[in-house]
Structure 1
Amino acid sequence: MEELADLAGITVRTLRFYRERKLLPPPRREGRIAWYDEHHLARLRTISALLERGHTLSAIGELTEAFENGRDISEILGLAQPSEETPIRLTPEELADYFEGEVTPENLAAALDLGYIGVDGDEIVHVSRRLLEVSSILVHEGLPLAAVMAAGRRVREHADALAGLFAELLDTYASTTDAERLRPLAKAVVEAELSMALDRRLTKRD
């Protein structure tokens, strides 16, 4: 415990306090000896980083609970299915930097529920680098992260419906091998229709 506290730059008393608050997982025990590893050190450094960013210990405790209750990463990423999206691994500090302090326990829970993020050890895995970067830009433009994710949930509902229409069309008129070949055409139709819909909406606002 003394070695771990020294490496983390905290006192043994603070380390014990974190353990009592269940911010730190228990060590591996061999008889009367307690062994800590790099995962414990990474967790302590994460706690320190979050405290420096203004999070309270209560909020960090909620974040920790959300991390540990995250879905299995293979389920989150849908590893059994091919995807054009590129997952990205982040530390909790890096994720916080993307969203200017808006990584609250509530927003984290919403992201877990949407399947945007999963937890793999001490890392967070976002299912899509593209979605992460777009969401970050929207937040930097002044949109609240909670509103961005709420919109994302609605977009997903419509995207699922559009994908269903395309799949139904292929099931009726095309073979299974045609699906991947024709996939870019479906995306092009959706992108063109969205572009025209935005034109109509923005024209009305003017």
Structure 2
Amino acid sequence: MEELAKEAGITVRTLRFYRERKLIPPPRREGRIAWYDEHHLARLRTIAALLERGHTLSGIADLATAFESGRDVGQLLGLAASEAPTWSEEEPVRLTPEQLADYFEGEVTAENLATALNLGYLATDGDEIIHISRRLLEVSAALVTQGVPLASVLAAGHRVREHTEALTRLFTDLIHAHLPDTEFEEAMARLRPLAKDVVEAELSMAMDRQVRAERESSQRS
């Protein structure tokens, strides 16, 4: 218990209080020895992150119940859509806390976990963590491997989310302006690959312009 409390940055008294409130699961026992593991540490870090974001202990108790019952914590906190559309192209990934730590070695902090939860990138199902998109997971891990801090990756993800939602509204308005509302879902399905091509082409050209601008700036200096 003392070792777990030290790793989590809390007092043993606080840890005992969390146990009494059933905010963390009981340890595995061998005789009189109680063994805690990475699952307990991950839970404590999540609790700390939620407290920092203003959640009450009662709300966190609901979170603990969700952990045990397998409910989606993202839904419980209102951080994710209740159900992804059947035509979604994103593949969720199930991970243990240890596997998540392997993707982002040394970067899985309470603050980063809270940010990822807030973005809806992560949810939980029992002892497993669910990342909503394999593509986003692998891109994020690649950026961290190349030396970009995970906190910066998540901050960039938040800004990208804002821009992509604005782009989606643009294409949605285009459909509403020219097609009946009864055809909206079918029209969105048809428009999706076209919209992706437009955005990818514009992003590619914007990156080309940025590289040229940086090169010309270096040459002038």
TM-score of the aligned structures, taking structure 2 as reference length? 0.66
Of 67-76 and 179-188, more deviation after overlay is shown by 67-76
Measured after TM superposition, the shift of residue 178 of structure 1 is: 2.2
Deviation at 1:121, TM superposition (A): 1.3
Gaps of 5+ in 1: 1-15, 28-35, 37-42, 51-58
Q: CA RMSD in A?
A: 3.2
Q: How many residues align structurally?
A: 171
Amino acid of the structure 1 residue aligned with 2:37? R
Cα distance between partner residues in 1 of 2:170 and 2:161: 14
1:160 aligns with 2:162: no
Residue 209 (structure 2) pairs with residue 200 (structure 1)? yes
1:76 counterpart letter in structure 2: A
Partner residue of 2:75?
A: 72
Aligned identity (percent) is 52
Query: Residues 116, 93 of structure 1: CA spacing in aligned structure 2 closer, same or farther, 3 A cutoff?
Result: same
Change (3 A) 1:180 1:124: same
Q: Does 1:143 align with 2:148?
A: yes
**Equivalent position of 1:134 in the other structure:** 139
Helix, strand or coil at the partner of 1:85: coil
User: 1:61 corresponds to which letter in structure 2?
Assistant: L
Residue 98 of structure 2 is aligned to residue 106 of structure 1: no
Q: SS at 1:76's partner residue?
A: coil
1:123 aligned partner? 128
Is 2:24 the counterpart of 1:25? yes
| Counterparts in 2 of 1:89 and 1:47: CA distance versus 1, 3 Å | closer
Residue deviations 1:80-108, cap 9 Å, x none? 52321111111111101101110000000
Q: Distance in 2 between matches of 1:93 and 1:85?
A: 23
Structure 2 unaligned segments of length 5 or more: list them: 1-11, 29-34, 51-59, 64-72, 216-221
The whole-number CA distance in structure 2 between the counterparts of 1:149 and 1:80 is: 21
- Residue 20 of structure 1 deviates from its aligned partner by 1.6
Question: 1:151/1:19 Cα in 2 relative to 1: closer, same or farther (>3 Å)?
Answer: closer
1:137-171 deviations in Å (ceiling 9; x for gaps): 00000000000110110010000000000011011
TM-score, normalised to structure 1, is 0.71
2:101–2:108 contact (8 Å) kept in structure 1: yes
Tell me how far apart the structure 2 counterparts of residues 139 and 160 of structure 1 sit (CA, whole Å). 25
Tell whether 2:199 aligns with 1:190: yes
In 2: Cα distance, 1:142 partner to 1:203 partner: 24
Deviations 1:55-89 (A, max 9, x none): xxxx8623355586443379635425232111111
- 2:89 equivalent to 1:89: no
Select which of 3, 21, 45 maps to 1:62: 45
